[in-house]
Amino acid sequence: MSELKLKDFRKNFQNSDFKELYETFILNREIKESDIQYLLKSAIIFLNFGDQHLQKLGYKILIVYSNRYDNYSALYDFTINKGFIPVSQFIESKRNIEKDSFFQMFFSAFQENFREQNYYLSNGQKKLTEFSKNSDKNLVIIAPTSYGKSEIIIKKILDNLDKKICVIVPSKALLAQTKKRLLNQTISDFQIQRVITHPEMYKGNEVNFISVLTQERLLRLLQKNEDLNLDLVLIDEAHNIFGDNKEDERAILLTQVIIILKKRNPNIVFNFYSPFIADYKNLTINQIELDLESESINEFIKSEKYFICDLYDGTNHLELYNQFSDQFINTNIEYNDMFHLLLQEKSAKNIIYLNRPMHIEELSDDLMARVDDDYDIGEIQETISDFIHPNYKLINCIRKGIVYHHGGMPEIIRLYVEDIFSKQNYINFVITSSTLLEGINIPAEKIFLFSTKKGKNSNLTVSQFKNLIGRVNRFSEIFNKEKGDLRLLEPNIYVVKNKYCSSNANIKKFISDRAKVESIIKDNINNVLLKNETSLNIEEKEILKSSLESLENIEPNTTNLEDIHYVSSEIAKLCYKNNIYDFNIKNSEYQLNENLNSYKEQLFPTIKTSDELIEAIYLIFFKEIEIENSNVSRLQNNSARRFYSMLIDWRSKSASYKEMIASFLYYWSKLRGEDLMIYVGTRWGQVKRHFEDRIPLYIDLRNKSNSDRVNIAILRIKEEQDFIEFNILKYIEILYELQLIEQSFFDKVKYGSSDKKIIVLLKNGFSIELAKCISREEYSPFIQININNDEVVINANIINRMEDNFENKILIFEIKYHINTL
């Protein structure tokens, strides 16, 4: 029989007996035995003679049949022949497959070739693992979400401990997770003791080391150590290098770092890891020679079920999408609203995706009101109340079995939320944004997309959509020895049109374009350093020139750019070194020098206060200089400078969240009238204050309860902390290098303390709250702090002592990320 094609199947599907039987079967409706046999025969034909798309259809029929009738023999035979070893081995261990023949015993023994410690690899996973062992070639490893790329990265590190290694991760959350995984590794009696996560942890004389850094931190490390080169660089979530838009600073910065590393060590090896890169050649960087080899997985171990429901235009029908026929099947189920749908369709663990953090907060309020459950969360309530505030809305959510997760939350609270969602059975829902897209691992069986957007105007791309739904039913959950269940091979994905969607959102087209079986992932390359120069428009050519000129001023003689303008003044060089993007450094060099000289001529004292610091930043960097970034332009306003002076003062005194919240509440309590319309920006804006405002940028505190104000204060504090961390601190570093800031005050502003031991802890990734806690004398038997080389060794017994001392559970949770001796 010749190969059956999907396009031919679709031509004949509409008027075939198969269509009606398949839809009856897939919707779990009553069906005759003879019809089941017909479907199984069809599945065998698809699996043996169909193209890859029809093989997926045959596989789906086998999964649905096996789970519905608790008969896994056919699925076992197929998966062991296909190399889906985790499935076949799970069936064998849980379903008592008879081993009464030579072939059964042979297959059982054969599976042991795929054992990896206490779990089994698929044929594709094993192929990737073997491919990744190549130690002297630049590799691109592409595998779907949940296919164990993190484990491959760890193995690569353990096989190359004699080298200088860096794992580049896209976020601080992944930095913490990766560090924790590395410190938990034990081979025989060997355990990784130290992972560099901050530029200042590098001693300068290491022959080999392991580092986990964001591209910003790695660039800083390279700038501070001009002779440093690396041997092996592992780039996680490597698709981020393509950029979200042509001015994506982080994508350009990642590329610049790769170029610098290659220049410093021509023999450096790069490994790129991603769940979706369509063509690995698109990773080619024009400024360097980088021969790449790629391996990818095309296995289809999971088979999703896609549902849509339009609750916006009033149709309210739940429809099942058939990704093989590209048609929708009415389930004859209707829902009144999104809460009715959620509470009826939910499983034990559910993800709700929304694009905007403001909508996440709003939905959590509304969902709480619809949930009858009221759990006793005494310890968790006490922990969060003590760490943040008793009126933090998250506490009430948890009591109802709900958590939320977005960038407006304190970082340690986000990690704590992930932990309690994973461990507490009564928590059914996590409402989250695209913070979930980058490597966050939590158990979930179903995902509800209440928005199809990512960012301001763009729909989730095919790759982003597949990455998001890949977070549901990870292999570690499906094949777990105690709790695993092959029904999880059928993740349920719901796309729901509701008030959080635009009125013209077409969810049928959205799901069809992304979920039909032949959907192709495309690399959307926005990074000008990756694009063919002949294809660039005028604007892109300017961005490219600026990016290369910036790179040359950071690391001279790195690019092939001609007629390079190198800045000559110290302040301009420091602006490049500290990645200033808020103004054109080259064009502003004269004014920067003028401002600096004028500041020095006024004989200001060495900066020792927050007021002096903010005023110096304004006078030197922003006065008479054209600002290209609207975020820092606020510092040209005198009242804004007073506000940030206050925040930096808090930072220098390492004020706790509780103290900062209390200060915000006190300040707001003194305001009257329209002054209670506070600016919060586009992310959180609810109302307009001025006639010329095009979009809401303010929150009106006059109609907010005290509990509401607490939560608004938490959001504001996190946003402003991020602004100081990522925008203002760069200017403070420059002033320090210009010797304008007193040392002790600089330490307090940068670290929140001038205590050398606490600073070492902060450099090693500890939060200021945890650092202050464990630096107390009573914990000295469990912790070694070397202030000369910034090393920290934490003994695991510190946990028992902290528990005996009734330390906050969040601090005890955090310390587990840093334990490096058993």
Identify the DSSP state of 621: I
- Distance (Å, whole) CA 321 – CA 443: 24
CA nearest neighbour of 216 among 627, 578, 723: 578
Percent with pLDDT over 90 in the chain: 66
Alpha helices for 351-448 (secondary structure H): 357-370, 378-387, 393-399, 411-423
- Distance (Å, whole) CA 327 – CA 330: 10
Domain assignment of residue 670, yes or no: no
Domain that holds residue 557: 532-566
Cα end-to-end span (Å), the chain: 61
Residues 253 and 362 in one domain: no
Q: Quick: pLDDT tens for 773-809.
A: 999 999 999 999 988 878 889 999 999 999 999 999 9
Residues 278 and 400 in one domain: no
pLDDT at residue 407 in the model? 87
Domain assignment of residue 616, yes or no: yes
Domain assignment of residue 592, yes or no: yes
Domain assignment of residue 697, yes or no: no
Residue 247: is its pLDDT beyond 80?
A: no
pLDDT band of 333, cuts 50, 70, 90: very high
Between 132 and 313, residue with greater pLDDT: 132
What sign does the CA torsion over 649, 654, 656, 657 have? positive
pLDDT at residue 201 in the model? 85
pLDDT at residue 569 in the model? 96
Residues 620-632, mean pLDDT to the nearest whole number: 87
Q: Quick: pLDDT tens for 36-71.
A: 999 999 999 999 998 999 999 999 999 999 999 999
Residues 135 and 225 in one domain: yes
Domain assignment of residue 696, yes or no: no
pLDDT band of 216, cuts 50, 70, 90: very high
DSSP letter string, 219-247: HHHHHH-TT---SEEEETTGGGGG-SSTT
> What's the per-residue H, E or C state across 364-377?
HHHHHHHCCCCCCC
Q: Quick: pLDDT tens for 107-143.
A: 677 787 888 877 888 999 999 999 998 888 999 999 8
Q: Quick: pLDDT tens for 71-107.
A: 999 999 999 989 999 999 999 887 655 555 555 666 6
pLDDT at residue 720 in the model? 92
Q: Is 304 helix (H, G, I), strand (E, B) or coil?
A: coil
**What's the domain count of the chain?**
6
Query: Where among 252, 274, 296 does a domain terminate?
Result: 296
pLDDT at residue 274 in the model? 92
Residues 803 and 736 in one domain: no
Burial class (CB within 10 angstroms; exposed 0-12, middle 13-18, buried 19+) of 719:
middle
CATH number for the domain including 438? 3.40.50.300
Query: Where among 98, 116, 134 does a domain terminate?
Result: 116
pLDDT band of 502, cuts 50, 70, 90: confident
Residues 721 and 636 in one domain: yes
Average pLDDT, the chain: 90
Residues 634 and 769 in one domain: no
pLDDT at residue 189 in the model? 56
Residues 285 and 324 in one domain: no
Residue 676: is its pLDDT beyond 70?
A: yes
Domain assignment of residue 685, yes or no: no
Residue type, 457: N
- Distance (Å, whole) CA 763 – CA 767: 9
- For 716, how many CA atoms within 13 A lie in the half-sphere containing its CB? 23
Percent with pLDDT over 70 in the chain: 96
pLDDT at residue 467 in the model? 86
Domain assignment of residue 674, yes or no: no
Q: Do the beta carbons of residue 459 and residue 452 sit within 8 Å?
A: yes
Angle at 63 between CA 59 and CA 68, to 5 degrees: 150
Residues 324-345, mean pLDDT to the nearest whole number: 95
Residues 81 and 219 in one domain: no
* Residues written for the chain: 822
Residue 240: is its pLDDT beyond 70?
A: yes
Domain assignment of residue 698, yes or no: no
Q: Quick: pLDDT tens for 135-165.
A: 889 999 998 877 788 889 999 999 999 999 9
Q: Quick: pLDDT tens for 420-477.
A: 999 999 999 999 988 766 656 788 999 999 999 988 778 998 888 998 898 899 888 9
Strand partners, 120: 115
According to DSSP, the β-strands at 317-322 and 327-334 are: antiparallel
pLDDT band of 604, cuts 50, 70, 90: confident
Q: Quick: pLDDT tens for 519-568.
A: 888 899 999 999 888 888 999 899 999 999 999 999 999 998 888 899 99
Residues 369 and 280 in one domain: no
Residue 822: is its pLDDT beyond 80?
A: no
Q: Is 332 helix (H, G, I), strand (E, B) or coil?
A: strand
Residues 343 and 231 in one domain: no
CA nearest neighbour of 168 among 229, 221, 233, 232: 233
Residues 128 and 268 in one domain: yes
pLDDT band of 571, cuts 50, 70, 90: very high
pLDDT at residue 775 in the model? 93
pLDDT at residue 206 in the model? 85
Query: Where among 59, 93, 116 does a domain terminate?
Result: 116
Q: Quick: pLDDT tens for 706-718.
A: 999 999 999 999 9
pTM of this structure: 0.93
Residues 492 and 612 in one domain: no
